[in-house]
Structure 1
Amino acid sequence: MSKPFYLTTPIYYVNDRPHIGHTYTTVLADVIARFHRMLGEPVRFLTGTDEHGQKVEKAAAARGIAPKALADEVVANYTDLWQRMGMTHDRFIRTTDADHHAMVQGWFEKLLATGDIYKATYKGLYSVSDEAYVTETQAKELQAQGLAHQLIELEEETYFFRLSAYQDRLLKLYADHPEFVQPDFRFNEVKRFVEGGLQDLSISRTSITWGIPVPGDAKHVVYVWFDALLNYLTGQGSAWPPDLQLVGKDILRFHAVYWPAFLMAMGLELPKTILAHGWWLMGEDKMSKSKGNVVRPDTLLRFGNDALRFFFLRDMQVGHDRGFSFEGFMDRLNADLANGLGNLASRTLSMIQRYRDGRIPALPAHIHHSHREQLQGLEATYEQFMENARRNRFDVALASLWDYLRGLDGYIVEKQPWVLAKDPAKAEDLDAVLHLLWQALRMTAILVAPVMPGMAQDLWSQLGMAGQVAGQRIDQTTWDAVVPERIGTVQPLFQRIDKEKEMSELMPPEATPAAEAKPALDVPELRETIDYDTFAKTDLRVGKVLEAERVPKSDKLIKMRVDLGFELRTIVGGIGKAYAPEDLVGRRVVVVANLAPRKLMGIESHGMLLAASDNAGLPYLVAVPEEAHPGFLVK
């Protein structure tokens, strides 16, 4: 058997539940994996989680649990979501897996023996958010981004990797293989960074204990990025080297500079391509918990797995950022799936049922040039789709296909099959129209199968085709396939979304434009003056919502499990008209912690969340920075 096409996603850090950024990367990888399987290639698809490091250790300590217990809790969110979405990865790797532990220690010892790793003392700036030491240049970049508060002075004994020794070899790699980093403008960023000079890289820590111990020196643990990057070796399954590694633009340097340098030191073959994608933005901002603008995949999966996958691949140009809005999401689905493919399939199959009793007509021997033009257009569209899909440009591939499908609507209007059906002398002309439309839908089902596997299979069956569409060879598809005798049962492929209704349920208050989010407000009168001692009796604490669910028979109450740092509390809040339970999990809130317990709908609530409200009573939870830990006193 030939070497599998080896494809990886980054491993996701276990500091939060998956959001649409994680989901987009994994969907893109799954689409590429499915596409290569339909090319007849064996595929190795790896994804997983990054579970060591200072942030995990601190978060676990704040909750009074072991780091592994915190990792297990977060990992379940990923594995459950990927299973529900039908991801086809071959392994979900965790950096806490025993074989990965052994892999990291083994390579650390080998590089220590060759001199590529050595022990020394480091003194300088350290980025808390990146869990990495930074150069002066990198520090200036963080300061320019307003992230200087995340830098601290640090001095500690550490093991270094001789990154500086690989600067020339990296530059030669970039010169000889410009395809190593894609897209081109990301390649240029990486090249300029290395040309600016490389310093040796600290790859161990003594300030934390949550990590893989350095062999023979137990007070050190392996630096999280050396540990994390080696997951691709651990999980390869004899598929080395990677053909394609997908990463977010924020971790490109780790993958395009440190990673190939590690592999050069190991004497291993390098990945063929590192493909860096952009971020999904809310407005002009990156989604983040601290800004309260994170969109969770569960919120969008109510419209179906295939719909979400289609939106991701159709709307994101790989390498660039893309603004997200609920309106744009629903507009895309209505235009392309309900009014586009769904309507075309329904019209075509209904006409075959009505005019030919469900039997698919053969293509007449002699057809009008207008039919021939449509067939030529279908062949050209197929070639465009395949060319772009092979380059992982599924947004362009899908755009070209949908342009052709829209043209078929005009073709139907031009040919008026409902008129042809009334004239027996036009029977062959009608057969040509129906046959061409059927063949176009059959090819569409094959082409979109990697993107929308469920919807493609539904269309395949409705067309009367047997077996699995995913089992077809996408690279051997032609328009003139032998047709089955009859079509299958016709059903809608996608229901049109009631945008106004869904927007009223989907749009969280904090995501609503400011002009719409602020109703006219009669400012309440100031309450009676109190002295400081009276106010000081109120104990306000930072809390973190761990679980949230609606209270049965109430459209307003939500029951939450809240971590206050020193204990867990059950709190019932009347915020259900403004917040969905899934959007509360992981959110930091301010809790009135010394309020007497109170029963609401039979549930004893131990505390109250701090929130503003408008004159309609709609709550606005007070935002707490992500850096504030559960238990912090608010004063």
Structure 2
Amino acid sequence: VLKYVLTANAPETKDNDFTWKDFQTRNNNELVAILGNFVNRALVLTNKYYNGVIPERGNLTDYDNETLAEISSIKASVEKSLDSFRIREALKYAMDLARLGNKYLADEEPWKVVKTDEERVKTIMNICLQITANLTIMLEPFLPFSMEKLRGFLNSEKLDWDKLGNTEMLVTGHQVNKPELLFEKIEDKVVEAQLQKLMDTKKANEIADAKATPAKKSIEFDDFGKMDIRIGTVLEVEKVAKTKKLLKLKVDTGIDQRTVVSGIAEYYKPEDLLGKQVSILVNLEPKNLRGIESQGMILCAENTDGSLSIVSPDQNVKPGSEVK
């Protein structure tokens, strides 16, 4: 399917972009709804009416003759495009054969005709199966694995390109197999999962390639000594109402129990923080955040993607222990 979509979008006179949405659309609207729908109905009806045995063709109508003649006409169009290296155009013409079969089957309605003219249905189904056999040759360059699968349904061998256009490729009495779905419909959730996978990969690559920010201007050692950083244990946690990023924490600093508001709600669930030890700047001037007095700052490392990770000791220590 991927090869089909890439070919259908292949640049000929200008560049084109691949999107998963287009992949889904072409799979569902072309491979499933046109090609898959036609060959499945042709084979299912043959198994239903004739136990999988190809029926004999009777007298042909003008529409029958026009339909069969169109196979060679489509072949000529495909060959002309391939000779000019217009691959995308060639695929479009090749799919016209599936469209031809789909239209013929829909127009003739053998499921209705069988009630009044069983002999006519034999001819209709024979023609549909000849179109199907020709499809295995015409679409082989574009959908090799799918055409191998379709040949399995038809119980037929792989044929060379020069056989294309033969309207008696499958002889009367030939036994075909019961079909399975040639293509599966791609649901929105599958596309969404692929898009998320791409985003995750892109994000991981950005993190891997990111460089650390340059060191800030040097400060005096005494300036660093003014910061009082302690290890505290989280006692209580709750989300701050009407905010996405803020959590309200009660922390045992060893000095006291104090309230701290921290913007880590997107990265930590409240229940995951209970009992966790954190590094907290305890001598920071209190600040009012959303009506809550925050009495300190919980220290976090900021990753290149902006996510935050709490700085914690690698083993439990007594609350109030100084970070030096």
Please, which of 17, 41, 55 is the counterpart of residue 347 of structure 1? 41
- Residues 593 and 334 of structure 1, relative CA distance in 2, 3 Å threshold: farther
Contact 1:353 1:359 in 2 (8 A): yes
Q: Cα distance 1:333–1:482, how it changes in 2: closer, same or farther (>3 A)?
A: closer
Q: Which residue matches 1:385?
A: 78
Alignment partner, residue 494 of structure 1: 183
Q: What is the aligned partner in structure 1 of residue 205 from structure 2? A: 584
The answer for the alignment partner of 1:324 in structure 2 is 18
What aligned pairs does 1:171-210 form with structure 2 within 5 A after superposition? none
Corresponding residue of 2:55: 361
C-alpha distance in 2, partners of 1:593/1:334? 51
Report what 1:102 is aligned to: none
With over 3 angstroms needed to count, the CA separation of the structure-2 counterparts of 1:583 and 1:349, relative to structure 1, is: farther
* Distance (Å, rounded) in 1 between the aligned partners of 2:170 and 2:126: 11
User: Which structure has the larger Rg over C-alpha atoms?
Assistant: 2
% identical aligned pairs: 19
**Greater mean alpha carbon deviation, residues 426-435 or residues 472-481:** 472-481
Deviation at 1:340, TM superposition (A): 1.5
- Count of equivalent residues: 221
1:624-635 equivalence runs, <5 A:
none
> Conserved in 2, the CA contact under 8 Å of 1:590 and 1:609?
no
CA–CA distance in structure 2, aligned partners of residues 383 and 310 of structure 1: 20
The yes-or-no answer on 1:505 pairing with 2:193 is yes
Matched, 1:399 2:20: no
Equivalent position of 2:163 in the other structure: 476
Measured after TM superposition, the shift of residue 506 of structure 1 is 2.1
Contact 1:338 1:494 in 2 (8 A): yes
Q: 1:384 touches 1:400 (CA, 8 Å); kept in 2?
A: yes
Q: Give the TM-score, by structure 2 length.
A: 0.61
What do the CA deviations read for 1:313-352 (whole angstroms, capped 9, x no partner)? 1221434211222211211111111112111111110000
Question: Does structure 2 conserve the Cα–Cα contact (< 8 Å) formed by 1:591 and 1:609?
Answer: no
1:333 equivalenced with 2:27 (yes/no):
yes
Aligned counterpart, 2:128: 437
Superposed counterparts of 1:535-550, under 5 Å: none
Q: Which residue of 2 aligns with 1:201?
A: none
Contact 2:78–2:94, Cα closer than 8 Å, also in 1 = yes
Give 1:581 deviation, angstroms: 8.2
Kept after mapping to 2: 8 A contact 1:592/1:608: no
Structure 1 segments of 4+ aligned residues over 6 angstroms from their partners:
none
Change (3 A) 1:375 1:611: same
Q: Distance in 2 between matches of 1:593 and 1:421?
A: 80
Q: What letter corresponds to residue 355 of structure 1 in structure 2?
A: Y
Aligned alpha-carbon RMSD (Å): 2.9
Give runs of aligned pairs for residues 118-517 of structure 1, distance below 5 A.
307-364=1-58, 366-423=59-116, 426-465=117-156, 467=157, 469=158, 472-477=159-164, 478-483=166-171, 485-498=174-187, 500-508=188-196
How many angstroms apart in 2 are the aligned matches of 1:491 and 1:585? 43
1:589–1:397 Cα change, 3 Å: same
List runs of 5+ in structure 2 lacking aligned partners. Answer: 216-300, 309-324
| Closer, same or farther: CA 352–324 of 1 in aligned 2, 3 Å | same
**Which structure 1 segments of 5+ residues have no match?**
1-306, 512-577, 595-606, 618-635
**Secondary structure of 2:56 counterpart:** coil
Q: Is the 2:207–2:305 contact (alpha carbons within 8 Å) kept by the matching residues of 1?
A: no
Structure (1/2) with the larger strand percentage: 1
Q: CA deviation at 1:494?
A: 0.8
Cα distance change of structure 1 residues 321 and 487 upon mapping to structure 2, 3 Å threshold = same
- The 1-side partners of 2:123 and 2:203 are apart by 51
Structure having greater relative contact order (Cα 8 Å, sep ≥ 6): 2
